[in-house]
């Protein structure tokens, strides 16, 4: 993926944070009752989410290998894997019902809500004991701390949001794959060219489902110099940049007809369609 002009796409996105869930809502507290005398040799069983499903045997085997390694080093701890994954629509209900795994990944941007609700244990003493804090991305750590600087989740990744484009499709459309679009006007122009010259291929596609629609609109807004919230992060302040972004999508979809026939994409489905050569950008 090429780094494009600041006018096009430079938003920083967030991926995962590893959390230990307490399913409490009374605020505060430290992990596992830090003040209590605990026996580190006691037999313990914990569940761990994000296990790959059976249709991904190689990934599932790698996941199980890590479990086996951990249990070999910690014979008093039994790991029960779970295929439970982060779902914003059901997470809170399952957390309140106590049906989620002991440890699982969540969206990094969701950490503050969980911290404020007292639903995560303080991981700071454990990270200090393992001397891990300096190994973690400081930008990510800022998203998983409370006002006192205590760390409640372990960030596992950050990523940049940019434009992916299919070089073969560019060549079929007569576009130079070494000169991708540098701003949104060129995105629209290239998308129209692809749609006209490469049958069955959408010039441009964007994620819309499973909470990705607002996320991508936010990315477009910031890439156009706008914002979606005030400096304090407490009030929505969408303005001209957001309106311009919506207008651009409208024009590509309804005026140029350059976005194909499928519009209900999430992260997985858009990757599959892109890999299959059905999307130019």
Strand ranges across the sheet with 103-107? 77-81, 44-48, 103-107, 16-20, 154-155
- Choose one of 104, 136, 159: the last residue of a domain: 159
Could you give the number of structural domains in the chain?
2
Interatomic CA distance for residues 31 and 119, integer angstroms: 10
Residue 280 covered by a domain: no
Q: Which residue has the higher pLDDT, 183 or 37?
A: 183
Indicate which CATH number applies to the domain containing 267.
Answer: 3.40.190.10
How many other CB atoms are there within 10 angstroms of residue 254's CB atom?
9
- Interval 199-213 mean pLDDT: 94
pLDDT value at position 33? 44
Interatomic CA distance for residues 159 and 120, integer angstroms: 24
Q: Which residues contact 145 (CB under 8 A, 6 or more apart)?
A: 115, 151, 152
Q: Are residues 99 and 143 in the same domain?
A: yes
Tokens linked to 2: 């090429």
In this structure, are residues 197 and 170 in contact, taking their beta carbons and an 8 Å threshold? Answer: no
Interatomic CA distance for residues 120 and 30, integer angstroms: 8
Q: Are residues 127 and 238 in the same domain?
A: no
Please, where are the H alpha helices in the chain? Answer: 57-73, 91-97, 111-116, 124-129, 138-141, 167-172, 184-197, 212-223, 240-250, 267-275
Work out the mean pLDDT of the chain and round it to a whole number: 86
- Interval 21-37 mean pLDDT: 47
Question: Which residues span the domain enclosing 129?
Answer: 17-159
How many other CB atoms are there within 10 angstroms of residue 158's CB atom?
15
Among 91, 123, 165, which Cα is nearest to 20's? 123
- Choose one of 102, 130, 159: the last residue of a domain: 159
Interatomic CA distance for residues 165 and 9, integer angstroms: 13
- Interval 85-91 mean pLDDT: 88
In this structure, are residues 246 and 206 in contact, taking their beta carbons and an 8 Å threshold? Answer: no
Q: Are residues 155 and 207 in the same domain?
A: no
Q: Are residues 140 and 93 in the same domain?
A: yes
Q: Are residues 174 and 150 in the same domain?
A: no
Residue 2 covered by a domain: no
Residue 281 covered by a domain: no
Q: Are residues 81 and 176 in the same domain?
A: no
Q: What is the DSSP letter of 132?
A: -
Q: Which percentage of the chain shows pLDDT scores above 90?
A: 62
In this structure, are residues 125 and 30 in contact, taking their beta carbons and an 8 Å threshold? Answer: yes
pLDDT value at position 157? 77
Place of tokens 């992990």: 31
Q: Are residues 251 and 194 in the same domain?
A: yes
pLDDT value at position 22? 58
Among 82, 78, 3, 77, which Cα is nearest to 41's? 77
Q: Are residues 173 and 269 in the same domain?
A: yes
Q: pLDDT, tens digit, for every residue of 214-233?
A: 989 999 999 999 998 887 77
- Interval 164-181 mean pLDDT: 97
How many other CB atoms are there within 10 angstroms of residue 72's CB atom?
8
pLDDT value at position 16? 65
pLDDT at 113 over 50: yes
Min mean pLDDT across 126-130, 136-140, 261-265 is at 136-140
How many other CB atoms are there within 10 angstroms of residue 1's CB atom?
11
**DSSP one-letter string for 253-276:** IIIS--S-S-----HHHHHHHHHT
Min mean pLDDT across 171-175, 204-208, 233-237 is at 233-237
Q: Are residues 144 and 29 in the same domain?
A: yes
How many other CB atoms are there within 10 angstroms of residue 148's CB atom?
7
Interatomic CA distance for residues 45 and 261, integer angstroms: 49
pLDDT at 31 over 50: no
Place of tokens 């441009």: 204
pLDDT value at position 230? 83
pLDDT value at position 15? 55
pLDDT at 191 over 90: yes
């Amino acid at each position: 993926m090429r780094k494009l002009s600041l006018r096009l796409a430079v938003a920083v996105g967030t991926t995962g944070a590893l959390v230990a869930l307490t399913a409490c809502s009374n605020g505060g507290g430290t992990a596992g009752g830090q003040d209590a005398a605990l026996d580190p040799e006691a037999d313990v069983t914990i569940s761990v989410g994000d296990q790959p499903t059976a249709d991904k045997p190689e990934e599932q085997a790698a996941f199980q290998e890590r479990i086996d390694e951990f249990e070999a080093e910690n014979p008093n701890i039994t790991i029960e894997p779970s295929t439970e994954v982060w779902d914003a629509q059901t997470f809170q209900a399952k957390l309140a019902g106590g049906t989620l795994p002991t440890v699982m990944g969540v969206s990094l941007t969701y950490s503050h809500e969980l911290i404020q609700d007292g639903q995560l244990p303080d991981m700071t003493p454990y990270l200090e004991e393992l001397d891990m804090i300096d190994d973690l991305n400081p930008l990510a750590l800022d998203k998983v701390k409370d006002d006192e600087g205590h760390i409640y989740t372990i960030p596992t990744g950050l990523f940049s949001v940019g434009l992916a484009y299919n070089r073969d499709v560019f060549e079929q459309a007569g576009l130079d794959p070494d000169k991708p679009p540098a701003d949104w006007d060129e995105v629209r122009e290239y998308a129209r060219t692809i749609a006209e010259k490469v049958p069955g291929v959408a010039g441009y596609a964007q994620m819309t489902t499973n909470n990705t629609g607002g996320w991508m609109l936010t990315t477009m807004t910031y890439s156009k110099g706008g914002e979606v919230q005030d400096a304090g992060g407490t009030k929505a302040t969408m303005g001209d940049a957001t309106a311009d972004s919506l207008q651009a999508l409208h024009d590509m979809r309804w005026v140029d007809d350059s976005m194909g026939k499928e519009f209900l994409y999430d992260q997985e489905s858009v990757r599959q369609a892109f890999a299959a050569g059905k999307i130019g950008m």
